[in-house]
């Protein structure tokens, strides 16, 4: 299979490498020359980066993309519509708004391009380990044909419908991830105020009914003795704010108040104001600790 992969950042690079390891011919596009160097080291062929080049778009049976935001996605979707051959399959894996995806769907349909929305749940480490959860929506025949490709990224795949269901489901998942960090921030701050031992709290929570995979992952990272807590990012505060803005916007559009989620968004913004924007999104724990006068934030 001939695949053009657009966007080889933290998620796109490992995903494109998994496709390469399946034996497919992969060419990659990215505006960042350093990312292209990293892709070439991994054995990926660098496509022409010229804005007016159409060869790689016409060459491809499939075009994949992994992009940072609505603006970048719509720019690429328009390029695909203008440059790709009719009946080319376009699969986008970005976390974007439902409205941007729907707008692209109309543009791509008019161009005769088949568009599959594939949201992936998991971080870059999970992408490298081929342990992502795949959430797909769009034309079912395209999904069925692409499933062997998607399965290279993870063993759990879900087809959710023929339009924007995958986009919304990704936002639902990320809402619960964000709210887990908020729940931990409140609960652990309460415990510290009552002199519960930090490590004891994590051990109990991990073994209890609330011991979800995401909580256990945070326990491995943050359940160290005070002074050794590791807030190095798997997903930064800035990145989580982007997702929370998408989530609350979807809530406004669909008539869901999402009051708790909007409070969490406020805490994330406070984390940035306090200089923690580059840390893991669980740094909102430190926001609540500061609010109650806890000074040992390490």
**Based on the structure, what is the number of domains in the chain?**
2
Q: What is the mean predicted confidence (pLDDT) over 233-243?
A: 96
Could you tell me if 150 and 7 lie in one domain?
Answer: yes
Asked whether residue 297 is assigned to any structural domain, the reply reads: no
Q: Which helix (H) or strand (E) holds 27?
A: strand 25-29
- Supply the CATH number for residue 53's domain: 3.40.50.720
Given 137, 162, 187, the domain boundary residue is 162
Reported confidence tier of residue 178, pLDDT bands at 50, 70, 90? very high
Packing angle, helices 259-273 and 284-291, rounded to 10: 80
- 156-159: strand order across its sheet: 45-46, 25-29, 2-6, 62-65, 89-92, 114-121, 133-137, 156-159
Spatial CA neighbour of 264 closest among 192, 180, 202: 180
Q: What is the mean predicted confidence (pLDDT) over 104-119?
A: 98
Asked whether residue 296 is assigned to any structural domain, the reply reads: no
Given 162, 181, 212, the domain boundary residue is 162
- State the pTM of this model: 0.95
Asked whether residue 298 is assigned to any structural domain, the reply reads: no
Asked whether residue 114 is assigned to any structural domain, the reply reads: yes
Q: What is the mean predicted confidence (pLDDT) over 225-250?
A: 97
Percent helix, strand, coil in the chain (nearest 5)? Answer: 55, 15, 35
Could you tell me if 18 and 145 lie in one domain?
Answer: yes
Could you tell me if 156 and 8 lie in one domain?
Answer: yes
Reported confidence tier of residue 92, pLDDT bands at 50, 70, 90? very high
Could you tell me if 90 and 179 lie in one domain?
Answer: no
- Supply the CATH number for residue 182's domain: 1.10.1040.10
Could you tell me if 137 and 93 lie in one domain?
Answer: yes
CA distance 281 to 160: 28
Active site residues: 170
Q: What residue numbers bound the domain in which 218 lies? A: 169-291
Given 133, 162, 191, the domain boundary residue is 162
């Amino acid at each position: 299979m001939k695949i053009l992969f657009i966007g080889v950042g933290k998620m796109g690079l490992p995903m494109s490498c998994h496709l390469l390891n399946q034996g497919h011919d992969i060419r990659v596009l990215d505006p960042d020359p350093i990312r292209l160097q990293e892709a070439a080291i991994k054995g990926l062929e660098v496509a022409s980066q010229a804005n007016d080049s159409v060869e790689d778009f016409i060459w491809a049976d499939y075009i994949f993309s992994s992009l940072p935001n609505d603006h970048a996605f719509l720019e690429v979707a328009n390029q695909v519509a203008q440059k790709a051959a009719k009946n080319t399959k376009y699969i986008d894996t970005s976390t974007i708004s439902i409205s941007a995806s729907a707008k692209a769907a109309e543009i791509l349909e008019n161009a005769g391009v088949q568009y599959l929305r594939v949201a992936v749940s998991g971080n870059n480490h999970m992408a490298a380990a081929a342990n992502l959860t795949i959430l797909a929506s769009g034309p079912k025949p395209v999904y069925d044909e692409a499933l062997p490709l998607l399965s290279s990224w993870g063993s759990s795949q879900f087809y959710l419908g023929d339009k924007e269901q995958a986009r919304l489901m990704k936002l639902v998942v990320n809402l619960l991830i964000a709210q887990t960090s908020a729940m931990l921030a409140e609960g652990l701050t309460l415990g510290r105020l009552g002199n519960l031992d930090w490590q004891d709290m994590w051990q109990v929570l991990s073994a209890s009914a609330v011991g979800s995979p995401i909580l256990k992952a945070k326990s491995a990272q943050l359940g160290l003795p005070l002074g050794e807590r590791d807030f190095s990012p798997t997903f930064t505060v800035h990145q989580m704010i982007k997702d929370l803005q998408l989530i609350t916007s979807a809530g406004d559009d669909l008539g869901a108040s999402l009051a708790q989620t909007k409070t969490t968004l406020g805490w994330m913004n406070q984390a940035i104001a306090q200089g923690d924007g580059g840390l893991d999104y669980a740094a909102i724990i430190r926001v609540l600790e500061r609010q109650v006068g806890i000074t040992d934030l390490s």
